[in-house]
Structure 1
Amino acid sequence: MSSSSATRLRREEDVEKAYAIQVQAGLEGAARFTAVGLGLSIVAHHTWPAFRHQGRPFKAFLLSMSGVVFGAERALIAHEAQRRLEENHMRRIARLELTKHGIVPTETEIAKWRLSNEQSH
Structure 2
Amino acid sequence: MSTADRARRREDVDKAYQLQVRAATIGAAQYTAVGAGSAMLAHRYWPLFRRQTLQFKVFLISISTIFGLVIHADNALLSHEEHKRVTETALRREARIDLARRGMIATETEIAKWKVEKEKAQALAASRSEGSSQQ
TM, length-normalised to structure 1? 0.82
Please identify the structure whose Cα radius of gyration is greater: 2
Distance 1:7 1:115 in 2: 11
Aligned residues, how many? 116
What SS does structure 1 have at the residue aligned with 2:105?
coil
Q: Which residue of 1 aligns with 2:39?
A: 41
The gaps in structure 1 that reach 5 residues or longer are: none
Where relative contact order (Cα < 8 A, 6+ residues apart) is larger, the structure is 1
CA displacement at 1:66 relative to structure 2: 1.6
Tell me, in whole angstroms, the C-alpha distance in 1 between the residues paired with 2:70 and 2:83.
20
Q: In the alignment, is residue 64 of structure 1 matched against residue 62 of structure 2?
A: no
Residue 77 of structure 2 is matched in structure 1 by 76
Alignment of 1:22 with 2:17, yes or no, is: no
Task: State the Cα deviation string for residues 32-84 of structure 1 (Å, max 9, x = none).
Answer: 111122223345563876xx457144234323222211111111111111111
Q: How far off is 1:7 after superposition?
A: 3.3
Percent identity between the aligned chains?
A: 42
Could you tell me how far apart the structure 1 residues matched to 2:87 and 2:47 are?
A: 48
Q: In structure 2, what is the Cα distance between the partners aligned to 1:44 and 1:92? A: 56
Find 1:32's aligned residue among 25, 30, 33.
30
Q: Secondary structure at the match of 1:39?
A: helix
Greater mean deviation of Cα atoms: 76-85 or 7-16: 7-16
The residue type equivalent to 2:85 in the other structure is: R
CA-based RMSD: 2.2
Q: Which runs of 4+ in 1 moved over 6 A?
A: none
Residue segments in structure 2 that go unaligned for 5+ positions in a row: 123-135
Q: Quick one: which amino acid aligns to residue 40 of structure 1?
A: S
Over 3 Å counting, the alpha-carbon distance change for 1:39 and 1:92 in structure 2 is same
Alignment CA distance shift 1:87-1:47 (3 Å): farther
Partner SS for 2:103: coil
